[in-house]
Amino acid sequence: KATLKSASDHKIDSPGLHFQMATLAFAENDQATADRELELARSAPQISVSVLTFQASLAALHGQIRRALAFNQKAVEAAQRLNLKEGVGNLHAQRAVGQANFGFSKDAIASAEQALKASDSSDVKLTAALAFAVAGDESRALKLSEEVSKVRPYDTFVQFVSVPLIRGQIELRKGNAAKTIDLMDTAMLYGRTNGDVAYLRGNAYLKLNQPADAVQAFQHLLDLRPSDPTNPLRALAQRGLGQAYA
């Protein structure tokens, strides 16, 4: 915050700076400032993709699924105009994960397929694989995660966070919640700020009827707000807390 304020005081003005200030303002519950800074950030076409993605996440966080999908589509169109093929793939893949997490499995699978048509980058493949895993398409989730694991054998995040997250999701759907916890224990060593890891841990503990551990996992996700304030999983973590306390 001090760095951003210093840049502003020195009359450093850029769309990227305004977007960062908007994100910070939202994390501090200053909606008026966030809205003002987002409007200023729109002036640069490339930053407009980030603004639209931010708005899509915020809408999903508030349970406004149709509004979130509309913002995501606008972000896709903006990225296409800029010929950002991997960006387009990532936007489709992120939408797929969101749809899967909110229970729209058929739509999630369709979005993941769109992502893979747009880009074959490792990041897009991993995000699509997670969507497939949450939506119940185990074979494609495993195939994609294994492909990326082979081409990025020395990538710590891939090997110890992304791939275990996908496998953990599959194990949970199979009813192997204890195995999911084992996989997430490893992932937490390298991905403590990863909301997907915390959310999956919470769900696994609920399946194991360990409400106190579930509360801790869901609360950890909620505590990540300063660094990831618009993560839609925050809404689902609140629901998870309610289940754990019931």
Q: How many CB atoms lie within 10 A of CB 120?
A: 13
Give residue for tokens 């953990």.
Answer: 168
Q: Alpha-carbon distance 12 to 183, whole Å? A: 45
| pLDDT tens profile 74-133 | 999 999 999 999 999 999 999 999 999 999 999 999 999 999 999 999 999 999 999 999
Q: How many CB atoms lie within 10 A of CB 82?
A: 13
Q: Alpha-carbon distance 148 to 223, whole Å? A: 30
Closest of 193, 169, 177, 179 to residue 97, by C-alpha: 169
pLDDT at 243 over 90: yes
CB-hemisphere CA count at 13 Å for 39? 6
The H-or-E segment that residue 43 falls in is none
Query: Tokens for 4?
Result: 């951003």
Q: Alpha-carbon distance 3 to 67, whole Å? A: 33
CB-CB contact of 246 with 218 (8 Å)? no
**For position 27, what pLDDT does the model report?**
74
Q: How many residues does the chain have?
A: 246
The H-or-E segment that residue 70 falls in is helix 65-81
| pLDDT tens profile 11-38 | 444 666 767 777 776 777 777 877 777 7
**For position 14, what pLDDT does the model report?**
60
Q: Alpha-carbon distance 38 to 150, whole Å? A: 40
- DSSP annotation of 44 reads S
CB-CB contact of 26 with 34 (8 Å)? yes
Residue 197 CA to its chain's centroid (Å): 10
Mean pLDDT taken over the chain: 90
| pLDDT tens profile 149-174 | 999 999 999 999 999 999 999 999 99
pLDDT at 2 over 90: no
pTM recorded for the entire structure: 0.88
CB-CB contact of 205 with 214 (8 Å)? yes
